[in-house]
Structure 1
Amino acid sequence: MEALYFNIDSGYIEALVRGYRNGLLTAAQYVNLTQCDTLEDLKLQLSATDYGNFLSNESGVLSTSLIGTKLNDSLVAQFRYLKAQSSEPLAQLMEYITYGYMIDNVALMITGTVHERDRSEMLERCHPLGWFETLPTLSVATDLESLYETVLVDTPLAPYFHDCLSVDDLDDMNIEIIRNTLFKAYLEDFASFAKTLPSPSDEVMARLLSFEADKRTINICVNSLNTELTPDDKLKMLPGLGKLANPAFQDQVAHADDLEQLKMVVTSIGEYKGFFDDSNGKSMEDHFYEYEMGLCKDAFTQQFTYSAVWAFIRSKEQEIRNIAWISECIAQNQKDRINNYIAAY
């Protein structure tokens, strides 16, 4: 029934997103990029794609960081245009997407403040989609409570800080705990919102957010091995959704004392069986990206769905990572590793 009315408010947006997706690099275009010998050659090859002359105003020496920045700018421009044209509930879904970038920006600014890094440098590293008006003032806060009361209380992140305010010492470990605790609250809130979306958007978003939660659960448990974190500390950071959200699974991964124990739990879930396989030279992150791209491709098999926006953003981010990797291999003359990218289409 919802499909009868979907196109009234969101048909244009879905068509636009699918058009953007059709502009993602093809296998043949990736081959052309990997055969480049210089970054100028790469620039020329990219000009023949949907990126067009995105580097035409750069007259100086090309660098991988500049290419990455300009690629990211193209994604931000597309996202903002989509958001400007969207109506509810898609507009709210896109707001939720920005919250993840906000959390990363907050963690980045707090870390920079603790280590007395230059504020302007840290602000340049913040993701544009996670920008909010009071972000630059984060550097004046000396503890989490003052940071919350003076900066974050009026932002969308305020409700997620409920379980973080007990943290006193802002060292590197506690900042990472804060970041993961915020993401836990954020993903659970996002999942609750996604359930209110019409079918099939609710089902597709449930799968996408479920994997996002599981990916964070695995990363938290891997990175906390051989640290001072207790199982209870870990459990407070693990999202309450996903295939690993089963209480028995969560308890096992939180109590895992080494990587082998963790592997046994994670690989007991059929789809996650190969996540720790490094025999083909792929890292765990590579397997995550590969699996996520499969979910995003599946998301586009559905019609009349808001989840296409999330799937496109993730696919575009992967494409940017791919181009950045290829450009870095060219710059460092490491052509033997240039094909180690994850196709986004």
Structure 2
Amino acid sequence: MVAGTVTPVASGEGHGARRIVRALPAVVVLAVLAYLPYLPVELPGVLPGRVNGPGSMQLLATCLVIGGIALSYDVLFGRTGLLSFGHALFVAAGSYLLTISLSTWALPLPLAVLVALALSTGLALVVGAIALRVGGIAFAMVTLAFAQAASIIVMRNPGGVTGGEEGRPLDRDAVPDLLVGVANAPYRYWLALSFVVVAWVVVTALVRSRAGRAMAAVRENEQRAAVLGFGTYRVKLLAIVVGSSLGALGGVVHALVLGGSNPHLTTSEFTLSLLVMVVLGGAGSRWGALVGGVLYTYADARLVEVSNAAFLQDLPVVVRQVLSQPLFILGVFFVVVVYFAPSGLTGLGGRLIRRSGSR
């Protein structure tokens, strides 16, 4: 064998080793998150009580669910370059179809989940096939129109099916006892964590596949991708179906974790929040979408408590009114991040790590 050559076996082993090293941070984070329900530590000002307390577990579960849903939206926006204002439609479809399947259709939970995912995926296929007939801003407006129509239907509560502004509660007799009650918050947390793992694995497999590379080509330059032989319409439709199906699964888990379907999931405001989460964390990055979703949801929940804190009463009226608006604070933080870190928080973190390593 000539010196300096690399055998296929050695090359394969090196590639496998690099893949293990790349996966190590995700495995460590997963292990830490899975252990949190066993951690009886208080973090004053950070979490409402002990880490493994019911309030903290419920908050963290909600953060993980929304983080996973943001990861599903990144398949469209970050990976394929599709600015959709209708992603909330599919999240809400998964949530409402689950609660309707359990209570109105009296289906067992496993079958109800399958029905919710199947119908939501079919809806995504229809909406995507129609919306992709146009591009750019027109595509965004068509998806927004579908989402707004669904929101109106939910609010009008036809036949008492959706519950209107009150939402639709989960039929607790139709779900396992482990998912019901304050004492079982850790199990709902693990359910949310399981959803994040599923979303992460699906997105990772998609990104590394030929379809994922085609999505990246469409995002960078759709006309060039078409010239190279990619079926851009099919590629974009696949992105919509996969991302929306993951979003629907997130809606199912959201209903199980929060005990019902919330009409807020149907609003364009929720989709805009997902867009902010993805941009905040870093579009086109699995870590970025997940971290952005978790941080945004956490900040939104905790800033509400801070806005009602007693120490704000001693501040000047103007300052007090500004700090009592959580959305204003989040908006300012978003502008600062976009201005100083256009690639998001994870992109900024990566640059800082590379800079420190080069010294």
TM-score in terms of structure 1 length: 0.24
Considering Cα pairs closer than 8 Å and 6+ residues apart, tell me whether 1 or 2 has the greater RCO: 2
TM value normalised by structure 2: 0.23
Which one has a bigger Cα radius of gyration? 2
The structure where helix makes up a greater share of residues is: 2
